[in-house]
Structure 1
Amino acid sequence: MTIQSRIQMRVKRSKRSVFLRSDFEDIAGYDQVGRVLRKLALDGLLMKIGYGLYVRARKNRITGKLMPDNDGGADGVLIEAMERLGVDYKFDDLSNMNLTGQSTQIPASVKITPKDPRFTRKITVGKQCVNTDMPEVD
């Protein structure tokens, strides 16, 4: 089996949707894994969401564009990425009020911020971001 087919099989069989480059270090070296992940992102199996961070992708049935293959959507991907990186995070006030039962209003988007100000890694899934300003709306 080639390196690409081994990584591809692991991605397809995995229960998680967010992958780090280090998840595949038992298959090949750092550079080889990087090349294969970049190729899989071009092929549409993965989406790059940050430095060394990838999420399994699928085509949207309506628009035909790539989207994260996660039940929680973009918010779920960001939460899983923060947990995979081992970073403590907090939600915005509206989301906290909804999660604790103080409010029945469901926020349109959840803003996730890391608790440690030294965490400067940028993670972007669609229009949801961590450590970046909100992108311009066209």
Structure 2
Amino acid sequence: MGQSPTVREKVEARIAGRPDEVFLTREFRDLGGENQVLRVLRALVQDKRLVRLGYGVYGPAVVSRLSGEPLLASPGGFLGAARQALDKLGVEWEPTATQRAYNEGRSTQVPANPAVRIKGRFSRRLRLGTTELRLER
């Protein structure tokens, strides 16, 4: 008889099989106990396979060849991953006025800091290293 897969193997298989830029801890609830899943996610962060973006929010990582540090493996960058996290958390958001002006061609000023306009309540912080998502009300 073969052994049943461990919680870590189940979590790794679920992450590998999804094209998502962000994962929430609640997406892994059915794989094991809450403490087991959190331990596995912490281990994956230590192994540089995931990066932690905020409370209960993780993203897939690749290791930088230059520094050896984990980088977010997201085609949309940090802002794209943060927007997907807000969608998964059920938070209504929209681009800021400066982002809309740039996208519509009314401005040549490229928005440098990742920011979104939040509709309603949201108090979590989403960050990657020194970059933090700025929330406008």
What TM-score comes out, normalization by structure 2 length? 0.84
Instruction: Give the equivalent residue in structure 2 for 1:127.
Output: 130
C-alpha separation between the residues in 1 aligned to 2:126 and 2:114? 14
CA shift for structure 1 position 113: 3.6
CA shift for structure 1 position 130: 3.2
RMSD over aligned Cα atoms: 1.8
1:61-100 to structure 2, matched below 5 A, reads: 61-100=65-104
The answer to whether residue 81 in structure 2 is matched with residue 48 in structure 1 is: no
CA contact (8 A) 2:22 2:84 kept: yes
5+ residue gaps, structure 1, are 133-138
Instruction: Give the equivalent residue in structure 1 for 2:39.
Output: 35
Q: 1:65 to 1:12 in 2, by over 3 A?
A: same
C-alpha separation between the residues in 2 aligned to 1:9 and 1:19? 13
* 1:10 alignment partner, SS class: helix
AA matched with 1:39: A
CA shift for structure 1 position 131: 5.7
CA shift for structure 1 position 31: 1.3
* 2:113 alignment partner, SS class: coil
C-alpha separation between the residues in 2 aligned to 1:91 and 1:71? 18
Of the candidates 110, 113, 116, which is equivalent to residue 106 of structure 1? 110
5+ residue gaps, structure 2, are none
C-alpha separation between the residues in 1 aligned to 2:132 and 2:49? 21
The answer to whether residue 28 in structure 2 is matched with residue 24 in structure 1 is: yes
CA contact (8 A) 1:121 1:131 kept: no
C-alpha separation between the residues in 1 aligned to 2:66 and 2:112? 21
CA shift for structure 1 position 7: 0.4
Report how many residues are paired.
131
**Greater displacement, 76-85 / 120-129:** 120-129
CA shift for structure 1 position 63: 3.4
Larger radius of gyration: 2
C-alpha separation between the residues in 1 aligned to 2:75 and 2:19? 11
Q: Deviation per CA, 1:47-95, whole angstroms, max 9, x where unpaired?
A: 1111111111111234332111100111111111111111012333221
